[in-house]
Amino acid sequence: MDTLNVLMAGIAAVVLFIFGLESFSAAIEQISGERFRRFLARATRIPLVGVLIGAVVTAVVQSSSATSVIAIGLVNAGVLSFANSVGIIFGANVGTTVTAQLVAFELTEFAPILLIVGFLLSLVRSRMSVFGRSIFYFGFVFFSLNLISSSLRPLQEEPALIEFLTQPQNPLIGILAGALFTAAVQSSSVTTGLAIVLTQQGLLGLENAVPLIMGANIGTTSTAMLSIMKMDPAAKKTALSHLLFNVGGVLVFLPVLLIFGDRLATIDAPPAVALAMIHLVFNVATCALFLAIVGPFTRLVERVIGEGRMDFDRIEIPSATPEEGFEQVASQLEENVGRLLAFLQENYNLVTLSIESGYRGIFDACARRIEYVAFLEREHLAYFARIVPAVTDETQSRRLLDLITRYDYLFQIHDSIDDLFNTKRMMNQHYIELKSDVLMMIRELSINTLALFKAVHADLQSDEPPDHRTQVDIARGTLDRVNRELLTLLARPGREDVGALSNFVTYSRRLVDKLLNFARLGEGRAPGR
């Protein structure tokens, strides 16, 4: 019964450890936000720089899984290329060694201080409270490791258990156990931290602990593999490179473990320190090896997945450099206006098609495209701020202001499409299906709105003053009629599908108005906001 109590206490401490890691990662992500993602996107063109970034980010967020999933998400959104993501994947494993080093050298004794300081800062009513929560959870991670160590200490009095754990076992079984446990808890840091604590307690032999941490590298890829079910081929390449990198590292060093594994017990160093150093050397050596063959490695992944065209063409994000003059900047922006409008038109088409059909694949495609436009909006806002110094006279100033206004209305159009998409998201959450009469209304609205989209887009390539009165009158007339019909249906009992679309006409009317305002920019007069 005493042994059972010890094990239950140990499991509870492990649960706290996992909770601490997840909470710390979430707190760090709240601090970093979009700046963190943009930094990753721009600073990874050189693989070695990507390795350093991946290592630092993982050391900060305490999760290689989180780093790899972020990288895959950026690739899927078109923000990061597959080639640029490989370095981050390589560096993520190096970053996980920080946890092992802190535990092995017993620096976790400072955990209570971090908990107290973090708690006090979190009470401050300012941005410092966010940093306070991060410090608190960082201390919580290592406090829970200390708790694990204390709860498992009574097991040192179980000779049979000690003999079983300290006697050399088959390394392949240890690798498999480490992989499965890491896949279950979704964190290699948990596996590594537990292995070092058990080694410190004398409950786990070094010969058995090394295979566990090697297996942890394989198990941590499960998070990335699960995240790519419906992502672009480029994102799948990143996830596959993560898997091949971790499995490849284990396969390369497995012969060394099989040949020299029985000599690990003779290492003249504290077992926990020795394990932490082996973990560091293993990950750094694997990273260096694959970095040396990064070209052939990426070509291998390309060959396995195929050329993998994106499911939609990305719009080139402008970049401000000292060499660019204003004319070059303005031309690039003007060229992208038509592309962005066409992209938004397809987004609207897919959103309404998703509402009509209910197909999950179309819904997921909408989500990716809408997320991508949100990224474009943030990038363009930052870009406009950077190119202001390139303006040299009043004419250029007026031209830049006109471009900024055009993009502003395009992103307002995006906001209305996003509102329509969120209506579909709400319908999915409540399992609401539309009946045929409502479906016909949506189809008629979408046809008329798409006609207005096409007319506005055609005017961008025309020198004639735009005239959309016909399309606007048809769209607004349809909106008014559909609104009356929906109100009539809403009075009938059991029509929850009509209630779900109560705001659909409002969002559609805003979209039509914003399209018209965007078109009026071409007439040389300012639209009303």
Contact 512, 479 (CB under 8 A): yes
8-state DSSP, 358 = -
Place of tokens 């303005």: 330
**Concatenated DSSP letters for 100-118?**
HHHHHTTGGGGHHHHHHHH
Positive or negative torsion for Cα 321, 322, 324, 330: positive
pLDDT attached to residue 323: 57
In this structure, what are the phi and psi dihedrals at residue 96, rounded to the nearest 5 degrees?
-70, -15
- Tokens read off for 367: 């989500």
Rounded distance between C-alpha atoms, residue 395 and residue 407, angstroms: 19
HSE-CB at 234 with a 13 A cutoff on CA atoms is 20
If DSSP states are collapsed to H, E and C, what string results for 320-357? Answer: CCCCCCHHHHHHHHHHHHHHHHHHHHHHHHHHHHHHHH
Task: Kindly state the tokens that stand for 503.
Answer: 């705001």
What are the counts of helices (DSSP H) followed by strands (DSSP E) for the chain? 22, 0
Amino acid identity for residue 54 in this structure = G
Round the CA-based radius of gyration of the chain to a whole number and report it.
29
The pLDDT value recorded for residue 527 is 41
With contact defined as beta carbons under 8 Å apart, do 454 and 341 qualify? no
The one-digit pLDDT tens for each residue of the chain (529 residues) are 466 776 677 677 667 766 765 665 566 555 555 556 666 666 676 778 888 888 887 777 666 766 776 777 677 666 677 777 888 888 888 887 877 777 666 666 677 888 888 888 888 776 677 677 777 877 777 677 667 667 766 665 666 655 655 666 788 888 988 888 888 776 777 788 888 888 887 778 888 888 988 998 888 887 667 656 556 677 788 888 888 999 999 999 999 888 887 777 778 788 888 888 888 899 899 999 998 898 899 888 888 876 544 556 767 766 655 556 677 777 878 888 888 999 999 999 999 988 888 787 788 778 878 888 887 888 788 778 777 777 778 888 888 888 889 999 999 999 999 998 998 888 888 777 778 887 888 888 888 888 888 888 887 766 665 555 666 677 777 777 777 777 777 667 767 767 767 677 788 888 888 888 888 776 544 343 3
Phi/psi zone of residue 106: left (φ > 0), alpha (ψ -120 to 50 degrees), beta? left
Q: What is the pLDDT of residue 518?
A: 87
Alpha-carbon torsion, ordered 330, 334, 339, 340, to 10 deg: 80
Helix axes 294-305, 82-95, angle to 10 degrees: 120
Rounded Cα distance, 485 and 307, in Å: 49
Start and end residues for every CATH 1.20.58.220 domain found in the chain: 326-523
Contact indicator for 485, 441 with CB cutoff of 8 Å: yes
Mutual angle of helices 326-357 and 394-429, in 10-degree steps = 20
CA 92 – CA 271 distance, rounded (Å)? 25
CB atoms within 10 A of CB 13: 21
Can you give the pLDDT at residue 223?
67
Residues whose CB is less than 8 angstroms from the CB of residue 444 and which lie 6 or more positions away in sequence, other chains included: 478, 482
Rounded to whole angstroms, the Cα distance separating 21 from 142 reads 9
- Per-residue pLDDT, 36: 60
Instruction: Give first-to-last CA distance, the chain, whole Å.
Output: 73
Residue 318 has a CB neighbour count (10 Å cut-off) of 18
pLDDT, position 319: 62
What is the C-alpha to C-alpha distance for residues 81 and 75, in angstroms, rounded to an integer? 6
Count of C-beta atoms within a 10 Å radius of residue 351: 26
518: tokens are 């965007």
For residue 489 the two structure tokens come to 């249906």
Residues 6+ away with beta carbon under 8 Å from 172: 211
Is domain 326-523 annotated with CATH 3.20.20.70? no
The residue length of the chain stands at 529
Distance of alpha carbon 360 from alpha carbon 177, whole angstroms:
36
**Predicted TM-score of the model (pTM):** 0.60
What is the structure's pLDDT at 248? 92
